[in-house]
Amino acid sequence: MKRFGQIILIIMFLSIIFIIPMLTKLQKNQAISQFENRKLAEAPVFTETSLLNGEYFGKWETYLSDHIYGRNAWIKNYITMNMLVLGKEKLNDIVIGKKGFLLPFLNYDDKYYSINKEENLSKMAEQLKELQDKLAQKGGSFYFVGVPSQASYHKEEYPKQLQISNNLMYKTEQLLFDKLDQLDVSYINMNNVFRNKPEIEYYYKTDHHYNFEGAYATYYEIIKTVKQKVDQRVQPPLEKADLDIVTLPNPFGGSRNRQIYYMFPTQEKIKIAYPKNKIPYEKFNNGKPDNKLYYLSENKAAMINYGVYMGGDWAETVIKTNNDMLPNLLVFGDSFTNAIEPLLYNHFNETRILDLRYYDKMSLYEYIDKYKPDIVLMLRDDLNYGNLEGNGSFKGKNIKN
Partner 1 sequence: MLFSSLMFIFVFLPTVIFLYYISPAKLKNFVLLIFSLFFYGYGEPKSLFIMLLSISMNYLFGLLVDKYRSSKTQAYTILTLSAIGNLSIIGYYKYTDFFIENFNALFGLSVPLLHVIMPIGISFFTFQGMSYVIDVYRAQGKAQKNPLNVALYISLFPQLIAGPIVRYQTVAEQINERHVDLDKFASGIEKFILGLSKKVLIANSMGLIADEVFAFPTSQLSVLLSWVGVLAYTAQIYFDFSGYSDMAIGLGRMFGFEFFENFNYPYISKSITEFWRRWHISLCSWFRDYVYIPLGGNRASRSKLIRNIMIVWLLTGLWHGAAWNFIVWGLYFALLLLLEKFLIGRFLQKLWLPLQHLYALLFIVLGWLWFRAESLSYAIGYLTSMLGLGGQPIISTQALYYIVEYKFEFIAAIVASMPIYPLLQAKLKNSGIGLFLNYYIKYLVLIVLFGLCIMYLLNSTFNPFIYFRF
Give me the residues that bind partner 1 (CB under 8 A), please: 1-10, 12-14, 16-18, 20-21, 24, 32, 35-39, 51-52, 54, 57-58, 60-61, 64-66, 68, 71, 74-75, 77-79, 81, 86, 88-90, 92-93, 107-109, 159-164, 208, 255, 258-259, 312-313, 334, 357-358, 390
User: What does 252-304 look like in DSSP terms, one character per residue?
Assistant: B--HHHHHTTT-S------EEEEESS----EEEETTEE---SB---S-TTS-B
CB 342 to partner 1: min, Å: 19
Could you give the C-alpha distances from 96 to 12, 29, 82, in angstroms and in order? 35, 32, 12
Measured in whole angstroms, the distance separating CA 388 from the mean position of its chain's CA atoms is: 16
SS3 379: strand
Instruction: Provide the angle, in degrees to the nearest 10, between the axes of the packed helices 118-137 and 166-183.
Output: 30
CB 377 to partner 1: min, Å: 21
Contact 128, 385 (CB under 8 A): no
Contact 352, 371 (CB under 8 A): yes
Contact 329, 368 (CB under 8 A): no
CB 88 to partner 1: min, Å: 7
CB 77 to partner 1: min, Å: 6
CB 172 to partner 1: min, Å: 18
Helix (H) / strand (E) element for 39: namely strand 38-39
φ and ψ at residue 360, rounded to 5 degrees: -130, 20
How many CB atoms neighbour CB 29 within 10 A?
13
| CB closer to partner 1, 8 vs 279 | 8
CB 160 to partner 1: min, Å: 7
Q: Please name which of 368, 324, 309, 295 lies closest in space to residue 138, comparing C-alpha atoms.
A: 368
| CB closer to partner 1, 77 vs 235 | 77
| CB closer to partner 1, 18 vs 170 | 18
CB 314 to partner 1: min, Å: 9
| CB closer to partner 1, 25 vs 138 | 25
In the Cβ-directed half-sphere of 165, how many Cα atoms lie within 13 Å?
23
CB 304 to partner 1: min, Å: 16
CB 17 to partner 1: min, Å: 5
| CB closer to partner 1, 107 vs 323 | 107
| CB closer to partner 1, 377 vs 383 | 383
From CA 372, how far away is CA 353, in angstroms rounded? 13
| CB closer to partner 1, 100 vs 312 | 312
DSSP E strands, 59-163 = 90-91, 94-96, 102-104, 141-147
| CB closer to partner 1, 31 vs 241 | 31
From CA 343, how far away is CA 321, in angstroms rounded? 12
| CB closer to partner 1, 26 vs 52 | 52
Q: Please name which of 73, 110, 74, 78 lies closest in space to residue 92, comparing C-alpha atoms.
A: 78
